[in-house]
Amino acid sequence: MSASTPVAMYERVFEDCTGLQVLHLTFCCCAHTTLVVDAPCSHIRELVLEECSFFVIELRDFPMLVRLACCLTHTSKILFGSVPSLMDINLSFSLEDDSKVAARWIDEFDSFLGMSPTITNLVIRFIGRRTWIRPSHLERKLPHLKKLSHLERKLPHLKKLLVADMPSNWDISWTRGLHMASTFLEVLHIHVPHSEMEPDCMRGMNWSKSGNELRHHHLKELVMIGYTQRNIWLLKYVVRVCTSLQCIVLLKDGNVRYIGL
């Protein structure tokens, strides 16, 4: 759809096509940057936005939505109102544009954790250059890393989490924070692309055991693709606090295949 398409046209699809169950918006452009979905009578169960131009997606009233995917869009914020049926979320954002945009999206992701509905499956994929966060500036770029350790109740129903193409120069504690926010997580898969350089901020990191350390009694499966020595701290942490582990898979090489959304 061309950029001249009014945003009201998209919104009418949600409101007027009450029998519609699956909606994919692909390469849809619009001069208006915000898409508002307020459709209490809608029966849409699957919504996919792929390479669309909406910066903000506000789901005010979307009672039947089960699956949501935003792939390679310009979206920097997703606002959830009443989305009681949402279970599967797939977020795949490009980090190609510039460091300021990427850093702003990461800040918004922390807000997403606080606003997210009752989801059971979450896929996060980062696509693009992986040098926009440098280890020496990590805390300045990601001030929410400290806050993530206090998010134990933010994703209470999440059972499956896949973090794909995680930039190799990120602090691995970012994923640890997501794990701590997901008390009932059962399956955790992490993929780090191959990198010849080991981030300086990883050396000497040690998460020592404390009396107040949160125990996880539900995680059964941990898979780490692209495992190297820099991931040892996360591995030690998971083995120490997860009491129900049944399967650990460590792969030095590999990738996450793109098989549809």
In tens, the pLDDT along 42-58 reads 999 999 998 888 888 89
Residue length of the chain: 261
Strands of the sheet with 187-191, listed across from one edge: 22-26, 46-50, 67-71, 88-94, 121-127, 160-164, 187-191, 221-225, 247-251
Cα dihedral 14, 17, 18, 23, rounded to 10, equals: -60
Lookup: tokens for 122:
């979450």
Whether the per-residue pLDDT at 247 is higher than 90: the answer is yes
Cα dihedral 125, 129, 135, 139, rounded to 10, equals: -60
pLDDT confidence band for 25 (50 / 70 / 90): very high
pLDDT confidence band for 135 (50 / 70 / 90): very low
pLDDT confidence band for 147 (50 / 70 / 90): very low
Ordered by start, the domain boundaries in the chain are 7-251
Whether the per-residue pLDDT at 208 is higher than 80: the answer is no
CATH 3.40.720 fits 7-251, yes or no: no
